[in-house]
Chains A and B, each alone.
Chain A
Amino acid sequence: MDAIADFFRVYQTTIGVIGINALLALSVWVTLYAGQLTLGNAAFMAVGAYGSALLGMRIGVPFPLGLTIGALLSAALALPLGLAVFRLRGVYLAIATIGFGEVVRVVLLTLPFTGKALGLNGIPPITELWHIYLSLAVVAYVLWRVQGSTVGRAWAAIREDEIAAASQGIAIRRYKLAAFVAGAVVAGWAGGLSAHLNFSIEPGDFGFTRAVQILVFAVVGGTPSVAGPIFGATLLTALPEVLRPLKEYRDIFAGLILMGVIIYLPRGLVTLAELRKTRRLQEIGAADVA
């Protein structure tokens, strides 16, 4: 038991970061599942982080309320942004959302009350591990249920063929927007948790690198199911810790593992399990014919 307690004490921060990264990976999963490549979730994370931290530090807003307002602020930004950019597709949509991320970063560097380049320091470390993992459980459950609903099916249809999806009576714009706003809410919430896990935040934490990292978690884990992003975030966050004995060769190995996954499992790590499931389903399908 002591060993477990020690493990948790030593790796408490890593365990917390894993949970937050899993939330972020899920936030981008929603849009990916609907076939939309967006890279704005680091910025939505920033909105949640700065929003909740400032509300707490300057006005004394209670933590849960601050988190909620932070997430709602993200949603309030995602709505007009989504309306503006969802006429774009694929890489153009990605670039537009990167642009949005840069705007948010620069705004945080310029506003008088965000601490500019120094960021915010002395944020009370209120976030407990159970806050993070309860949030993760709720978000994962909700998304899993949504995936099997009419909404989840509509998202999948849009991903597979937008024109055909419109012909089935799916209001494309509305469903894309819903996915985008849902992702922004989750990212904003995760941002708030993350701000109160660390002592400080600065605009550089939420830049392009962060946006790509979030996307990589989801893609490496795999987008077919909710488990994929959680799995990907866990693995890639823990990997540097696991590879610590390799010292200066650590990043090289982490990079090689990443390449290996993308090359051999392009639909993500979860497809290892999915492959078997599909095969089983095919057998059932064959039985139906017979």
Chain B
Amino acid sequence: MLLECDRISRRFGGVHAVAEIDLAIAPGQVFGLIGPNGAGKTTLVNLISGHLRVDSGAIRFAGADVTRLAPHALTARGIARTFQGVRLFKGLTVLENVLVGRHARMRSDVIRRLWPGGASDRTDREQARQFLERLGLGRPQALAGELAYGDQRRLEIARALASEPRLLILDEPAAGMNPSESARLRELMRGLVAEGLTIVLIEHDVRLVMGTCERVAVLNFGRKIAEGTPAEIQTSPVVREAYLGTEEVA
């Protein structure tokens, strides 16, 4: 297993945002995470990426215990993510955003740079451009904040890929994308998985989830209520109940 969550929990005040969730994600697949609003999907992602600490439980990544690691350390180990609602460096250029994404894979050049012409980041810029090309993004010198929303989403994915992750967590990547963009996203995910990347996909677009994921976990009120193949999930009465509510009258 690439990522294992062992009964992890996180409370906010009296609310169990994430309660005793077990997850085991095998390498080289797209793993879907779905659930109604407020089910705890984003909290779970924040726990895995280190932005929040678990109250209890353990997280293992590639065999090592990473429960207490900070986000930057997890990035160095190979976990990259995007954010719900996009968090780009809006005042930086498109290319700079991707270069920052390579931070964990770059050696500090601050000392070499003190000598005139001492350091060239040409190779890093070239690699950054390749990530932009892969996502079909032009205008490397435009400010990230000036891009259209769909382009910002793709730039965020390019930035995440730039850290050369083993696990990529996409938090609602298709939100704000039109059908053709969403179809291209699906193609991209298939390509990445074929290259050996593992993807955790949090998504509301059920068609996207069912069409790309090998396995899907369903959260509700902070608990995992179901896990299985897309076909199993679609026919699960528990899941149906979570989404549509309990049947009042038989």
Residue pair A282, B109 in contact (C-beta under 8 Å): no
Residue pair A288, B70 in contact (C-beta under 8 Å): no
A156 touching B110 in the complex, CB below 8 Å, given contacts A167-B71, A288-B138, A289-B139? no
Residue pair B103, A160 in contact (C-beta under 8 Å): no
Chosen A-B contacts, 9 in total, with CB atoms closer than 8 Å, are: A150-B108, A154-B103, A156-B92, A160-B90, A163-B87, A167-B49, A169-B72, A169-B104, A171-B72
Residue pair B106, A285 in contact (C-beta under 8 Å): no
Q: Does A261 count as interface, using CB distance less than 8 angstroms?
A: no
Contact mask for chain B residues 53-82; partner A; CB cutoff 8 A; 1 contact, 0 none = 000000000000000001110011000110
Residue pair B90, A149 in contact (C-beta under 8 Å): no
Could you say which residues of chain B place their CB within 8 Å of the CB of A284? 141
Nearest CB of chain A from residue B69's CB, rounded to whole Å: 11
Q: Which residue on A lies nearest to B116, using beta carbons? A: A145
Stretch at the interface among B26-34, B93-101, B198-206: B93-101
Instruction: Tell me if A's interface is mostly helix, strand, loop or mixed.
Output: helix
Residue pair A150, B109 in contact (C-beta under 8 Å): yes
Could you say which residues of chain B place their CB within 8 Å of the CB of A160? 88-92
- Give the docked Cα–Cα distance between A70 and B7 (Å): 53
Could you say which residues of chain B place their CB within 8 Å of the CB of A172? 72
Nearest CB of chain A from residue B99's CB, rounded to whole Å: 6
Residue of A148, A165, A166, A170 near B113 (CB, 8 A) is: A148
Residue pair B88, A164 in contact (C-beta under 8 Å): yes
- Give the docked Cα–Cα distance between A167 and B103 (Å): 10
Could you say which residues of chain A place their CB within 8 Å of the CB of B71? 163, 166-167
A149 touching B108 in the complex, CB below 8 Å, given contacts A157-B92, A165-B100, A167-B49? yes
Residue pair A169, B103 in contact (C-beta under 8 Å): yes
Nearest CB of chain B from residue A199's CB, rounded to whole Å: 36
Residues of A within 8 A of B (CB): 142, 145-146, 148-154, 156-157, 159-161, 163-172, 278, 281-282, 284-286, 288-289
Nearest CB of chain B from residue A23's CB, rounded to whole Å: 18
Residue pair A150, B110 in contact (C-beta under 8 Å): yes
- Give the docked Cα–Cα distance between A206 and B83 (Å): 44
Nearest CB of chain A from residue B201's CB, rounded to whole Å: 17
- Give the docked Cα–Cα distance between A186 and B109 (Å): 21
Could you say which residues of chain A place their CB within 8 Å of the CB of B80? 167
Could you say which residues of chain B place their CB within 8 Å of the CB of A165? 89, 100
Q: Does B51 count as interface, using CB distance less than 8 angstroms?
A: yes
Nearest CB of chain A from residue B68's CB, rounded to whole Å: 15
Residue pair A145, B113 in contact (C-beta under 8 Å): yes
Nearest CB of chain A from residue B154's CB, rounded to whole Å: 14
Q: Which residue on A lies nearest to B132, using beta carbons? A: A288
Residue pair A282, B91 in contact (C-beta under 8 Å): no
Nearest CB of chain B from residue A172's CB, rounded to whole Å: 7
Could you say which residues of chain B place their CB within 8 Å of the CB of A150? 103, 106-110
Residue of A152, A157, A159, A167 near B75 (CB, 8 A) is: A167
Nearest CB of chain B from residue A138's CB, rounded to whole Å: 10
Residue pair A164, B103 in contact (C-beta under 8 Å): no
Closest CB pairs A-B (n = 7): A169-B104, A169-B75, A160-B89, A285-B139, A164-B87, A289-B138, A166-B71
Could you say which residues of chain A place their CB within 8 Å of the CB of B146? 282
- Give the docked Cα–Cα distance between A146 and B118 (Å): 12
A167 touching B81 in the complex, CB below 8 Å, given contacts A149-B110, A153-B100? yes
- Give the docked Cα–Cα distance between A154 and B102 (Å): 11
- Give the docked Cα–Cα distance between A159 and B92 (Å): 10
Q: Does B15 count as interface, using CB distance less than 8 angstroms?
A: no
Q: Which of A152, A160, A170 has the most CB of B within 10 A?
A: A160
- Give the docked Cα–Cα distance between A165 and B106 (Å): 15
